[in-house]
Amino acid sequence: MKSKMTTPKAAKAAAKVLASNSTGRNSRTAAGSALTQSRTRGEATSARAASAASKVLRDGRTSAASKTAAGSALSQARGRK
């Protein structure tokens, strides 16, 4: 698998999500995963964080910043075997 990293734009969105008091658990989990991978090459999103990111992307009530962070986290998840 090619090593991916969170882009600066996605890292900024993830930081914004984590700083907000109104952010839900799934959004925080996905944002935390994306932010962790912004400086570490070779890390992969855990199954729990990938599931949370998927839920964030399917939820119509989440902000654009949450969706950006979730998309970044999900793109770095390992595929099913």
> Distance of CA 52 to CAs 2, 41, Å?
23, 21
Confidence of residue 4 (pLDDT cuts 50, 70, 90): confident
Unique residue bearing structure tokens 């991978």: 37
Task: Give residue-wise pLDDT tens across range 50-74.
Answer: 999 999 999 999 999 999 999 999 9
Give the integer Cα–Cα distance in Å for 20 and 48: 21
